[in-house]
Amino acid sequence: MALNRKIAYIDLTTGEIDIKPIPLKLRELYLGGRGLDVYLLYNHLRAGVDALSSENVLLVSAGILVGTLASASTRTHVAAKSPLTGFIGSSNMGGFFAPELRWAGFDHLVIKGKAEKPVYLWINNGKIEIRNAENIWGEGTYNTQTAIREELSDDEVQIMCIGPAGEKLVRFANVRTGYKNSGGRTGMGAVLGSKNLKAIAVRGTMDINIKYPDKALEYNKKIIDRITSTKFCQIMQKWGTMFIYGVTNTTGLVRVNNFQLNQHKFSEDIECESIEKYSVGTAGCFGCQIHCRGKYVIRTGSYAGTYSEGPEYTSQGAFGAEVGCRNMETILIGNHLVNDYGLDTLETGSLIAWAMELYENGIITDRDTDGIKLRFGNDNAVIEMIHKIAKREGFGDVLAEGPVRAIGKIGKESERYCIHVKGMSNLHSDERATPSLALGIATASRGSDHLRSRPAIDLYHLPLELLKKIYCQPTPYDGPLSSDYRDYTGKARMVQWQEMCYEAVDCLGVCKYHTIFLSPNLMNFEDFSNFLFYNTGLKIEPEKIWEVADRAYTLERLFNIREGLTRKDDWLPDRYFDEPTPLGLDIVKGKKIDRKKFKKMLDEYYELHGWDENGVPTAEILEKLSLDKEPTHIL
């Protein structure tokens, strides 16, 4: 059955492995994936632990629908205490790893301790081995996967691994599977590196029995037809997320030269159409019809002949707009390097852009940067800094510590220029004209983020009738809404609703691009409920799935509070309030966030969640969500 997958407790220090079933009670409370991971983290990790110590606990999981007949049921979730922020560490990636993990018999891995020497885990049809990885320590993520497949004599083995950045404990190192799929945020790769865990390899041929296969197939076909009929899907199939850049840049909603500008002029070469001369097709993740992953070959220069996949919208910003570069090959090379090194593309580019603004303001000099001319538009400097960050060489060693620690090393005068929330850098978007998006990055549980709560459809000026249809279900909401993305009215509800939607899909293991993220016509809570019933037999109504998401998100909040989070952490950098946007269309030009209105919006957001004025969940909401007795140590 889809519910009979196990949980494995793996102690890398002792080598002990304990395998247990997952109680139905916890399935009903958290479903799986991200939801059950935060439960396990809250129950197995004591407060105040150093994120890079052997005491940190690493969770790797597949959502409850992964590998079933649900559309794009492919996502892997990775969690731990974040070495970047000190709060909840949580990252999510597509590909084929999570389905293979389920076919091998497991939904959740709880990894503790630290191996004496580099190791990897080999998981195959219900069995787990700890194997020597000394021969691949130091290898990039591409060679690591090839070497493990060769050692196991099986090209179908799916591998999650780290690169040299994770081994060097770069605090925003990521985990990787395949050529492109990355668990990019919060530094989960550094946690693997701190445990001497190079990789997890899985192979499975164990069936997942679908409860109502005919109904599941019929419903999935209905959803696929809905998805593929949208303009969003059709453009994603051609350009992937790169298409977003043309719209946001034209409007004036991107960060350029760190935070100095909000429109990247004369940057036609990094528009999505420019990828055509490098493109060799597209690919998709398990069970996905969109196929948004580009495949490309670098044609000229010292990287000529290099094959890679992507780039995403985030890499266009990281190695284009933010650093003032206008060369597609810089983006493609940068994208390739961070993938092989195992670095978060977003954090890498943002920190380089921050350093460039510091350099141009004289806060850092050639003496600090090892002679690298960190000026905006210097393509070579961007590529050189990627290498230095991954290897922790020179000034790269400073940036490898992430925003908060790097500010401590450079000096207080550098803080104003760093665009981060909770110690994690923001996407290359500029939210000064979009209060809903600004609230989302300020309150997101894992730090400044565009995949935790982003109401991107707020940018579409949708009719109020449609907004009410979306945001007034599956739980009632009778407050105001606004179709104007510059307005503050009702935006707290939009952010809360998207939080619950994204938490739910991360528990299910479904891709966010198949939900109401970039299109209002895609999957919602009713669809989640139907997919769950047809595939697993669990009958959980849409409002109860909302409750599952609310429970898991509130537990993330409790985890963060236990680690020291306060209301002041749900706030934006001063530049959002003090510096109006200098460029863009008339609708966004001259905009900045209003402090008083933002504070009121934050109060509304807390109230919607059932949290007090300091953002602390009330006793009433904890009892309602069955969180008043946590940690319960059921599993």
Report field, pTM of the whole predicted structure over 0.95: yes
C-alpha dihedral over 581, 447, 183, 311, to 10 degrees?
A: 0
Residues with Cβ < 8 Å from 467, sequence gap 6 or more? 481, 483, 490
**Residue 76 and residue 66: Cα distance in Å, rounded?**
9
Peptide bond into 542 cis (omega under 30): no
The helix (run of H) or strand (run of E) holding residue 130 is strand 127-132
Name residues of the chain where pLDDT drops below 50: none
**Residue 56 and residue 41: Cα distance in Å, rounded?**
9
Phi, psi of 94 (to 5 degrees): -95, -155
Give the residue among 390, 308, 42, 68 at the shortest CA–CA distance from 212.
68
| CATH class as words, domain 236-425 | mainly alpha
C-alpha dihedral over 547, 553, 554, 560, to 10 degrees?
A: 170
**Residue 487 and residue 482: Cα distance in Å, rounded?**
7
- What pLDDT score was predicted for residue 1? 63
**Given its phi and psi angles, is residue 270 left (phi above 0), alpha (psi -120 to 50 degrees) or beta?**
alpha
The one-character DSSP state at 276 is: G
Both structure tokens of 378: 């210097």
- Span(s) in the chain for CATH 1.10.569.10: 236-425
Phi, psi of 56 (to 5 degrees): -65, 150
Contact 441, 426 (CB under 8 A): yes
Both structure tokens of 65: 């629908």
Name the β-bridge partners of 425. 420
**DSSP letters along 277-326, please?**
GTEEEEE--TT-SS--EEEEE--SGGGTT-EEE---HHHHIIIIITTT--
- Span(s) in the chain for CATH 1.10.599.10: 435-624
The one-character DSSP state at 22 is: P
Residue 87 identity: F
| Distance between first and last Cα of the chain | 20
Place of tokens 């650093």: 323
**Residue 268 and residue 271: Cα distance in Å, rounded?**
5
Whether domain 6-203 has CATH 3.40.50.300: no
Place of tokens 């060489």: 393
Contact 241, 428 (CB under 8 A): no
Question: pLDDT tens digit string along 94-110?
Answer: 999 999 999 999 999 99
Burial class of 75 by CB neighbour count within 10 A (0 to 12, 13 to 18, 19+): buried
Biggest distance spanned by C-alpha atoms of the chain: 67
- What pLDDT score was predicted for residue 92? 97
Question: pLDDT tens digit string along 469-503?
Answer: 999 999 999 999 999 999 999 999 999 999 999 99
- Span(s) in the chain for CATH 3.60.9.10: 6-203
The one-character DSSP state at 343 is: B
Q: What 3-state DSSP class applies to 41?
A: helix
Whether domain 435-624 has CATH 3.30.310.50: no
